[in-house]
Structure 1
């Protein structure tokens, strides 16, 4: 009986191993076959072979065209021009090529070029050589600074700090141009033409008249009138006291005579 039990157990184990091998063979995916690593179609990795698709060719993508850099306001400055600190030095004109190259704009920094551009714009609108505080000169300096911010933000559009500085400079220049337009219209037109500025009128202020806003406005007007009335009374009282003091000073003078 023991021998028969051992033979039956071996038969069951062999049959179970065969079933597991068949299930594993059926569950294997076609792309796990080693033939996919070879180039070209191949048929069959074992029993019940299958066709392997040809390899996919990944063609190169089209190269993206680089955007052209915006034209800078400093592009019209020649590289052979001397820096602003050395333009009035006569010795800089007669030096050799190496020293002259060091003193020219070819090796100058961006801030030095910007300073030279500011001086060029100021020279267009200033009244004389010593004019550094007129409205036209301040507009020219702000114009050079605003254009520099605009060129910077076209490359670095996420720079919020410089964007804020640019908007503040634009508001300051608008106020100066508005005052210049009211005071001297001919000078205003001349400055806009020389600096290439397009002046646009600000939009008209509009606010919807709600009941709350009307009530608040009426209350503010009423308070303003009361304050003006109190100031007028105080002014009148001071005048009366001053007139009474002058009359009192005149009476003793008459009695002594």
Structure 2
């Protein structure tokens, strides 16, 4: 009989503890409930710690990169293959939208940008292989590679292609500058290119080369000092000989 009374008391106390735990606010963390002190249970009561609030993190701002070279192309412009077709001008808006740059691929937009740059520098309408046209095509390609590498900086293959295109454009501009300087200035101005002169001599600065350079400078300074002393001695000897000659002339005249 006493055992049944004890079991009933234990069941009542556990039921009270469950009810108090169920009354905990929903934002209370499970770890806080687990870490609550168990020694404070007294006749169906349960000590609940204060609720733990989890605040939202601040939203990260998206990095805005430099403006693309294709941003000046309006989306309503027709693609290059359909711009000269007269039927597209009389078609409805849906067909024009399908043939416009709004639904065009990146390669089609890049081709249109190349044609725009070529039109700025070409000599006439039939010019498609001159140095100016090659520079315009390489400029559009280089800028496309630069925009791609800003998003995917680990793309080594496209970085190599970009450097090769830059070297090719440098050679073309160097030859154009030597042959026709006015055309060179016009191309740089129209395409927005800043031409920098390459260094006359470049060598990797190793420890051995730096030590050798410092030693050569010391030797050069020592040689210059020695030559200056020799020149001073020569001047003194010449001045002494001149004074002796003057004395002998004076003695002869007397």
Query: Is contact 1:43-1:52 (8 Å) kept?
Result: no
Which of 170, 173, 177 aligns to 1:177? It is: 173
Distance 1:89 1:173 in 2: 34
Distance 1:78 1:46 in 2: 73
Which of 142, 161, 169 aligns to 1:146? It is: 142
* Structure 1 residue aligned with 2:220: none
* Structure 2 residue aligned with 1:114: 110
Does residue 1:158 correspond to 2:160, yes or no? no
Question: How far is the alpha carbon of 1:205 from its aligned partner?
Answer: 1.2
Distance 1:55 1:43 in 2: 17
1:202 counterpart SS class = coil
**RMSD (Å), alpha carbons:** 2.7
Q: How does 1:13-92 map to 2 (within 5 A)?
A: 36-37=32-33, 44-45=39-40, 54=50, 56-92=52-88
Question: How far is the alpha carbon of 1:204 from its aligned partner?
Answer: 2.7
Which of 86, 92, 97 aligns to 1:96? It is: 92
Does residue 1:192 correspond to 2:215, yes or no? no
Distance 2:152 2:31 in 1: 51
Q: 1:91-110 deviations in whole A, cap 9, x for unaligned?
A: 11111111111111111111
Gap change, CA 1:90 and 1:46, over 3 Å in 2: closer
Distance 1:101 1:37 in 2: 61
Gap change, CA 1:112 and 1:206, over 3 Å in 2: closer
TM-score by length of 1: 0.61
Distance 1:190 1:43 in 2: 86
Distance 2:136 2:184 in 1: 12
Q: 1:18-69 deviations in whole A, cap 9, x for unaligned?
A: xxxxxxxxxxxxxxxx994179x7673579xxx9865543322211111114
Distance 1:199 1:130 in 2: 27
* Structure 1 residue aligned with 2:12: none
Gap change, CA 1:42 and 1:88, over 3 Å in 2: same
Gap change, CA 1:206 and 1:143, over 3 Å in 2: closer
2:63 counterpart SS class = coil
Query: Is contact 1:122-1:140 (8 Å) kept?
Result: yes
2:171 counterpart SS class = helix
* Structure 1 residue aligned with 2:122: 126
Q: 1:206-225 deviations in whole A, cap 9, x for unaligned?
A: 44596xxxxxxxxxxxxxxx
Query: Is contact 2:131-2:172 (8 Å) kept?
Result: yes
Unaligned runs of 5+ in 1: 1-33, 211-257
Question: How far is the alpha carbon of 1:87 from its aligned partner?
Answer: 1.3
Distance 1:197 1:187 in 2: 13
